[in-house]
Amino acid sequence: MKTNAWTWAVLVMLTTGSFWTRGALHDRGAALIILGAAGVKCCGLGWQFMELRAAHWIWRVVLAVLVFGLLGVVGVLAARP
SS3 string, the chain, reads CHHHHHHHHHHHHHHHHHHHHHHHCCCHHHHHHHHHHHHHHHHHHHHHCCCHHHCCHHHHHHHHHHHHHHHHHHHHHHHCC
How high is the mean pLDDT in each 10-residue block of the chain (81 residues)?
86 88 72 85 87 89 90 82 68
| Residue span of the structural domain in which 14 resides | 2-79
* C-alpha span between 47 and 28 (Å, rounded): 29
Instruction: Determine contact, residues 28/79, Cβ cutoff 8 Å.
Output: yes
Q: What is the pTM of this model?
A: 0.74
Number of compact structural domains in the chain: 1
